[in-house]
């Protein structure tokens, strides 16, 4: 007979299995993949990659369904979880209105990756599953996920022989998305005519998405890179050379909110309004961090296996170590290639190497990769930017975000020691009258720093 505890545990497991059934690696053939918009560019390029492999894919309209997201949540959830829930609910509602009797939720798949560890990102798709299951018909809408725990493996989604090709194109889309973002932040503060940089980048997004749709599959990735080169070359024409360089400000923080324009109320534009040139942390940095962490853990397991002389463990960890080291090497190589290409024409900021960031944390005894989360990137990046001579650092995050509050408590005193202006800005969907004055005051400090120390 089961004890009460065993009974409770098995009940919980059954329930959790039930939730997990509609979340996972499903064959995407013949389905339409629905991608939530996170950053301005990368998600559109990713939709292009799916289309390049013959899978219909769309980026959903974002933020317009926020009220629906709020209706199904208590307010205690992470804000990105509420926003993305609203995106999928509104999209489904509109599709039902548009298609009437022809509407079939089974023909779509909702794309929601996850990461484990102490952070709640691993729970978004399970929580969304519970909500979708509670709405008539939407229990048939599957949630397709990729998890950081196996370095975002694509096994099961696509035919085996296509997985590696897709992975390469997908990574390229991430890096090109980052490079185009950085291009926008580099040219917009110096544009000849107001609005010209945004128009230029919007055209570039369309062009690059089209190229990813055409050339992701097969051996034509170089055509995408060639097109990027044309775009970067032309971007210089947007700049007015008579406008002097401005104070440079770095943005770190939680990946969704710092990247999602509506959620962060376009903080970068606001900083630019008060005289900044801004560099936001990239999405590629997060992908590289996930791969780096797999290498780190395989190395740790290998050491344990060697100590205990367990042959199976040694083999397994050695295999993982080699596999992820090669993946990381490939990613760095691709990333360097794209940034070097852009740097031939314009000085955008390159990304940090993750190993360098870890060393930086260790040297400062500031945090540990053993704890995990985005704090592993935000804290050493802030330090790195300050040492390089950036004129200020802004930490953008969702209100109540655990890793970002860690970042804030550790980075703030470090920035103060380095005499670098620093500001925390948290978002939960409300409009705070004090936010603009706070950013403006921060920019005043950044400008004083700039006057004394110059630019990085």
Minimum distance from residue 120 beta carbon to ligand SF4 (Å): 4
Residue with tokens 């770190």: 252
Q: Shortest CA distance to 320 belongs to which of 336, 305, 309, 335?
A: 305
Distance of alpha carbon 286 from alpha carbon 146, whole angstroms: 14
Give me the least distance between CB of 369 and ligand SF4, in Å please. 16
Contact 414, 383 (CB under 8 A): yes
Q: Which of 151, 398, 411, 446 is the binder for ligand SF4 (CB under 6 A)? A: 398
Burial bucket for residue 75 (CB in 10 Å: 0-12, 13-18, 19+): exposed
Measured distance CA(327)–CA(354) in Å, rounded: 14
Among 53, 121, 427, 442, binds ligand SF4 (CB under 6 A): 121
Q: Where are the alpha helices (DSSP H) in 139-245?
A: 160-187, 196-215, 221-235
Q: Among 23, 45, 49, 78, which residue interacts with ligand SF4 (rule: CB under 6 A)?
A: 78
Indicate whether 289 belongs to the interface with ligand SF4 (CB under 6 A): no
Assess 120 for contact with ligand SF4 (CB under 6 A).
yes
Q: Is the distance from CB of 120 to CB of 127 less than 8 angstroms?
A: no
Task: For residue 403, state whether it binds ligand SF4 (rule: CB under 6 A).
Answer: yes
Do 406 and 435 contact (CB within 8 A), yes or no?
A: no
Residue among 52, 80, 253, 305 that touches ligand SF4 (CB under 6 A): 80
Phi, psi of 126 (to 5 degrees): -70, -40
401 binds ligand SF4 (CB under 6 A): yes
Binding status of residue 254 toward ligand SF4 by CB under 6 A: yes
- Minimum separation from the CB atom of position 285 to ligand SF4 (A): 14
Q: Of the candidates 154, 343, 346, 402, which one interacts with ligand SF4 according to CB under 6 A? A: 402
SS3 262: coil
Stretch that binds ligand SF4, among 49-57, 118-126, 209-217, 265-273 (CB under 6 A): 118-126
Residue 119 interacts with ligand SF4 (CB under 6 A)?
Answer: yes
Cβ-based nearer residue to ligand SF4, 298 or 401: 401
**Residues forming the site for ligand SF4 (CB under 6 A):** 78, 80, 119-121, 254, 374, 398, 401-404
């Amino acid at each position: 007979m089961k004890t009460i505890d065993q009974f409770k545990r098995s009940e919980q497991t059954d329930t959790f299995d039930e939730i997990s059934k509609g979340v996972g690696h499903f064959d995407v053939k013949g389905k339409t993949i629905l991608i939530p918009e996170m950053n301005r560019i990368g998600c559109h390029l990713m939709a292009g990659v799916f289309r390049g492999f013959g899978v219909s894919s769309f980026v959903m309209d974002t933020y317009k369904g926020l009220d629906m997201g709020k209706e199904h949540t208590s307010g205690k959830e992470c804000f990105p979880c509420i926003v993305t829930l609203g995106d999928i609910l509104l999209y489904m509602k509109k599709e039902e209105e548009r298609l009437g009797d022809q509407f079939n939720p089974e023909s779509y798949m909702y794309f929601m990756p996850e990461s484990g560890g102490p952070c709640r990102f691993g729970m978004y798709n399970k929580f969304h599953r519970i909500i979708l299951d509670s709405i008539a018909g939407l229990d048939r809408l599957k949630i397709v996920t990729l998890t950081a725990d196996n370095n975002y493996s694509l096994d099961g989604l696509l035919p085996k022989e296509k997985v590696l090709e897709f992975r390469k194109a997908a990574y390229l889309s991430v890096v090109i998305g980052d490079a185009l973002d950085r291009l926008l932040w580099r040219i917009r503060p110096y544009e000849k005519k107001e609005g010209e940089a945004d128009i230029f980048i919007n055209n570039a997004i369309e062009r690059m998405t089209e190229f990813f749709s055409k050339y992701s599959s097969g051996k034509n990735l170089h055509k995408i890179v060639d097109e990027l080169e044309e775009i970067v070359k032309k971007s210089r024409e947007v700049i007015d050379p008579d406008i002097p360089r401005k104070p440079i400000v770095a943005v770190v923080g939680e990946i969704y909110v710092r990247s999602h324009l509506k959620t962060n109320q376009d903080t970068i534009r606001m900083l630019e309004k008060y005289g900044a040139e801004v560099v936001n942390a990239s999405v590629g940095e997060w992908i590289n961090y996930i791969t780096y962490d797999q290498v780190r853990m395989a190395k740790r397991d290998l050491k344990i296996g060697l100590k205990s002389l367990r042959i199976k463990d040694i083999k397994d960890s050695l295999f993982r170590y080699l596999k992820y080291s090669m993946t990381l090497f490939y990613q760095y190589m691709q990333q360097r290639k794209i940034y070097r290409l852009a740097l031939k024409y314009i000085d955008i900021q390159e990304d940090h190497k993750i190993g360098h960031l870890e060393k930086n944390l260790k040297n400062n005894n500031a945090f540990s990769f053993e704890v995990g989360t985005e704090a592993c990137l935000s804290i050493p990046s802030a330090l790195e930017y300050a040492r390089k001579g950036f004129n200020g650092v802004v930490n953008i995050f969702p209100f109540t975000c655990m890793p970002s509050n860690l970042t804030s408590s550790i980075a703030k005193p470090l920035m103060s020691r380095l005499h670098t202006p620093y500001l925390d800005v948290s978002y939960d969907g409300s409009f705070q009258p004090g936010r603009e004055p706070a950013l403006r005051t921060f920019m005043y400090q950044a400008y004083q720093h700039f006057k004394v120390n110059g630019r990085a």
